[in-house]
Amino acid sequence: MVEQYRRRHRRSGRGISTYGGDFGLYYGSFGLKTDEKKDVAAVKPKYRWVTWVWSDCNHVGPDAGCCGSSSSSRVVVVVVVVAIVAVVLVVAMVVVVVVAVVVVIVVLVVVVVVVVVVVVVVVILLLLLLLLLLLLSIIVAAAAVVVVVVVVVVVVVVVVVIVVVVVVFDFRYLDYFNRLRVRY
């Protein structure tokens, strides 16, 4: 029966491993001895059959459990490596996203600061220009007032001089000329 089960299930992919000719049950787990010959049909419904790599199943005995498969250990290693790579990729993506966000924020802050500085400088220059124009207008207005005052003063002085000269000359020399005329 054991040989028939081996031949039948080797093709199906399940297979059966042995301890020195015995079928591959969990002997230690189910209390079976390696030297006990059990009918496959009798134990099949109660126990599950296991398959392992032959090089990993060198130990035998009453307490021999399921041998660790090298293919399963390879699967575990592959899963661990894939998990590590996935974690590294996720961390790298997070770092890249964080760095990109920080760079964008820094660029925006620099642009805003530059724009604010330029606007402040332009406003200050415009205020200084307006102040200069105001000072120039004040100077021009003051100069105009001074010119007007000077012109008025000059005109007044000229008028006064003319009036004084004419009046004094007329009254002083008028009598002199009259006397001269009378005399001659």
Secondary structure string (H, E, C) spanning 74-119: HHHHHHHHHHHHHHHHHHHHHHHHHHHHHHHHHHHHHHHHHHHHHH
Tens-digit pLDDT string for the chain (184 aa): 556 555 554 544 444 444 444 444 444 444 444 444 454 444 444 444 444 333 344 444 444 444 444 556 778 888 899 999 999 999 999 999 999 999 999 999 999 999 999 999 999 999 999 999 999 999 999 999 999 999 999 999 998 888 877 776 666 566 666 666 555 5
Nearest to 27 by CA among 68, 53, 65: 65
Amino acid at 99: V
Q: Say whether 22 sits in a helix, a strand or coil.
A: strand
| 73 vs 67: CA distance, rounded Å | 11
Determine if the pTM surpasses 0.75. Answer: no
